[in-house]
Structure 1
């Protein structure tokens, strides 16, 4: 029997990673295919492949939006797709993998070269590199944000008194975790582009962006600059074979770090700092109308692809602003991200005749994911009925985002759903913020209940 390996990974490592794995495993059981799935999620790598398993595999499915160490699969037939594709079409991916021609000893070298070419083409995707940086940055932002929020339990300014527990929490969360946010973002963008030689130049460029005041925009630019510089040096520096080992540990980090650093200090840093200062000033001085429009846009983006590139763009924008002490967009983004799965759950309760038993069960699961701020809980509904579910979710989330900004709600913790709401001072205007989520949830549910056909009509059609 042919053995298939699959690896799944998404930028946050929370929902898509495991939903894709479950879909592939279920489809493999139905088709009686030998499959092992490695997940690279927020808890780390699970079911990691051994070298022997890779050697024995007929083909590899890579369903990922971040780096998964694809160099391990050199010479093996690979089916590479976005992680969402494994959720939508797991059976099709398995069929593609089975149809791949296994590498024989005669054409092994050719397969290796093809794999290198594919990897090189993959490395040229800016979105993947950005999401690799974001996925490594998120644990720092979440841990730091929650620790900062916990320091507010003792009073909104209690951390200013030296030697107190609140000051210690702020030092850990703000002075340490948040200080690493931009360097890690830049470092792993660069790592995604140039692999290990790009890590040090990216970290250094990110640290400079942070110290200059260029913020997360400067970190993104530093990461791409360091990564592509390292990749260029890696490709064009030629040394005698016995000196090749100097390239990744000495020459590339030295030259790429110097070039990136000088560019950040003398050319890139000040203009980007000006942009960040202007953006921060504009956001903090938003009038009600502009705030509502921004919330409307961010809310719609969160529901458009429910964890995909557009959703992640809105989330990354809001998270990046936390380092600049701008907390309104983060509140709007989390509220709007909770609304789609909560609205779908409510729709299954209000319009029971329009949902099958399986959909009602999925609605209960979506509710749990929704209160945890995992928008991906709405994906099964969107995949089965996109033209009714996605517009309903976008309208509800847009209203929630707009109301959150209009109410002046703020959020200092970048994740956690309802579990961060009880933390004193973590959310500004808590009652109105909660109301915004409830209103968006009801709007989503009402619109979907109206648009959805009863189960009997769906079956007949």
Structure 2
């Protein structure tokens, strides 16, 4: 990408007088608007300032890169300002950073996954090159500054290596696949050049695998550095190579130390699976940290599925409600004379099938994180059984962990002669891993949970004649507990069954509690956006939509990410909302939780206020309990 095509002399301000971050941004927005880059400067300014709330855009050496993605941008561009007086309170990676050089990037929202990544990556990696920022600071005219961009960015630095130079291959990947992935690669390559070590990086980013290492390179390599926050892909290629495994941010702090360590004191020899590194042992100790990392790998793969299914189903149910249809999922609508109703019915089925893959996805990719590709099939099968056995997402988590560790154990323990070594990973581990995982799910996990489900149903039947507020709180808490799992299913099934006997208050409690957790956790990502990862912020949007159309599973990614914090909050919030609705006289006599049925509820105003109260409770408490976003200062996406 030629960055000089995205700016010009009119977009460069030297010796700008600005007393604050906002004033500097406003003046750069003004320049972009005057140059025809923007449709609405007010709308774009709002997008930039909203982005500033998410995480710091200040770096170091006096540099800041505010940026905004908005439909108010006509074309991708950036404006530059060099300040006369430094801004000392611009939130930055380096706490002592005093900003004197500002790059404001404007990206059309439609290009946020392409141009946005390219521009941000090119700039951030260029800033790491020695002398680059200094040369920008010394430019006397806008023309001089553009000349620096042309010289430093467009001309690739050529480095000569001796025949005896070591060759180290790096793999970098972060959860979002954007800024960290590229910055870590650049840091390693830059440190290697200084040390006379040839470093070649493979970026497993948002656009897939870039600069994939060839077999020829792998054979020549002396060692491998794996700097990732998610499970790296195709790691078996590097079997037999010395390696170290670390977090993706570590190269930004100590790239030279990592290069020295992988050559002189590696973590071990790769056998096609990434084992825990020495660094991880010192920084993230215990099995709990391992399990959380595996869970988050599963979540990162599951979220696009959840978003796709939720949006399609949401569109279908909202569309159906426009024609007065509140059960668009019912098969009878396939015979409707209205073409749009038929279409919405089909869309609801498509969205439902996508969401039906949620448990197999999360279990499969948790197993993948532990046992690499060999764990995928046992994990997916375990996840399917978790769905069929109604064990919910907790059962899927158990299935993924079991499948992954079973496969890993098989790969370690069953060693065949060299000529037949591939049989273990291709045949023995997948077959045996799938069989053992399935049997454990059926007899060890599924049977007890099924018994629990039946026992809870009987118990709830007995509560129906007691104190209505206590009953509603119990039903609501159960529905909010495992979000589609056995406890949830027992409460919802029993409550709906009681409708046939003319008892509707348990159903009222259940229908309220179905939608409160996903709406509440979605709101949490709005109230506390700076505390959640980019992927969870995106999941939050679909979670709200899923809640509005009556799907509690939108809350699952959040429950997996921090179960000990999230589940108690969803239980309390659901119990509060259900008890409030029933106690104040709301009564839902239909098995419908989505917004399209709210107006049919007796005392619907109380019903809606109760939902809102429970949702806000979950949102506020979740934000309060949520820890700081890890490596938040480095997130430039």
> TM-score normalised by the shorter chain: which range applies?
0.5 to 0.7
**Hey, what does 1:338 align to over in structure 2?**
526
Distance verdict in 2 for CA 1:151–1:320, change over 3 Å? farther
Q: Distance in 2 between matches of 1:328 and 1:183?
A: 25
**Hey, what does 1:20 align to over in structure 2?**
180
Pairing partner for 1:136 from 276, 298, 301: 301
Distance verdict in 2 for CA 1:270–1:402, change over 3 Å? closer
Q: Which moved more, 1:29-38 or 1:214-223?
A: 29-38
Pairing partner for 1:120 from 255, 275, 286: 275
Q: Distance in 1 between matches of 2:186 and 2:420?
A: 49
Distance verdict in 2 for CA 1:5–1:433, change over 3 Å? farther
Cα distance, 1:168 vs. partner? Answer: 0.8
Say whether 1:97 aligns with 2:262. Answer: no
Q: Alignment RMSD, CA only?
A: 5.3
**Hey, what does 1:287 align to over in structure 2?**
473
1:416-431 superposed matches below 5 A:
none
Q: TM-score, normalised by structure 1?
A: 0.57
**Hey, what does 1:165 align to over in structure 2?**
343
Q: Deviations over 1:234-273 (max 9, x none)?
A: 3333545544443333333333322222222222212234
Q: Distance in 2 between matches of 1:167 and 1:72?
A: 46
Cα distance, 1:165 vs. partner? Answer: 1.4
Are 2:239 and 2:272, in contact at CA under 8 Å, matched by a contact in 1?
no
Are 1:21 and 1:37, in contact at CA under 8 Å, matched by a contact in 2?
no
Number of residue-to-residue matches in the alignment: 349
Gapped regions of structure 1 (runs ≥ 5): 104-109, 299-316, 345-365, 375-396, 410-422, 445-461
Q: Deviations over 1:163-211 (max 9, x none)?
A: 211221121111x212222122222222332233332222222212211
Distance verdict in 2 for CA 1:242–1:20, change over 3 Å? closer
Are 1:79 and 1:96, in contact at CA under 8 Å, matched by a contact in 2?
no
**Hey, what does 1:207 align to over in structure 2?**
384
Q: Deviations over 1:59-92 (max 9, x none)?
A: 5241313344433444555443334xx1xx5532
Distance verdict in 2 for CA 1:166–1:434, change over 3 Å? farther
Say whether 1:44 aligns with 2:208. Answer: yes
- Report the structure number with the largest CA radius of gyration: 2
Distance verdict in 2 for CA 1:181–1:23, change over 3 Å? same
Q: Deviations over 1:330-371 (max 9, x none)?
A: 222221122224799xxxxxxxxxxxxxxxxxxxxx99x978
Distance verdict in 2 for CA 1:38–1:285, change over 3 Å? farther
Distance verdict in 2 for CA 1:257–1:112, change over 3 Å? same
Distance verdict in 2 for CA 1:336–1:101, change over 3 Å? closer
Cα distance, 1:20 vs. partner? Answer: 1.6
Q: Which moved more, 1:210-219 or 1:193-202?
A: 193-202
Distance verdict in 2 for CA 1:230–1:152, change over 3 Å? same
Distance verdict in 2 for CA 1:29–1:255, change over 3 Å? closer
- Higher RCO (CA 8 Å, separation ≥ 6 residues): 1
Cα distance, 1:213 vs. partner? Answer: 1.2
1:109-258 superposed matches below 5 A:
114-116=269-271, 119-121=274-276, 125-153=290-318, 154-155=320-321, 156-160=326-330, 161-163=332-334, 164-174=342-352, 176-239=353-416, 241-258=418-435
Q: Distance in 2 between matches of 1:227 and 1:337?
A: 31
Q: Which moved more, 1:41-50 or 1:210-219?
A: 41-50
Q: Distance in 1 between matches of 2:226 and 2:389?
A: 42
**Hey, what does 2:438 align to over in structure 1?**
261
Q: Distance in 1 between matches of 2:373 and 2:185?
A: 32
Distance verdict in 2 for CA 1:60–1:279, change over 3 Å? farther
Cα distance, 1:402 vs. partner? Answer: 11
Distance verdict in 2 for CA 1:225–1:24, change over 3 Å? closer
Are 1:217 and 1:272, in contact at CA under 8 Å, matched by a contact in 2?
no
Gapped regions of structure 2 (runs ≥ 5): 1-158, 160-165, 281-286, 335-341, 464-469, 493-513, 542-565, 581-593, 599-606, 625-637
> As a proportion of its length, which structure holds more helix?
1
Are 1:4 and 1:61, in contact at CA under 8 Å, matched by a contact in 2?
no
SS in 2 for 1:158: coil
**Hey, what does 1:71 align to over in structure 2?**
236
Cα distance, 1:102 vs. partner? Answer: 3.5
Q: Distance in 1 between matches of 2:441 and 2:398?
A: 9
Are 1:332 and 1:402, in contact at CA under 8 Å, matched by a contact in 2?
no
SS in 2 for 1:45: strand
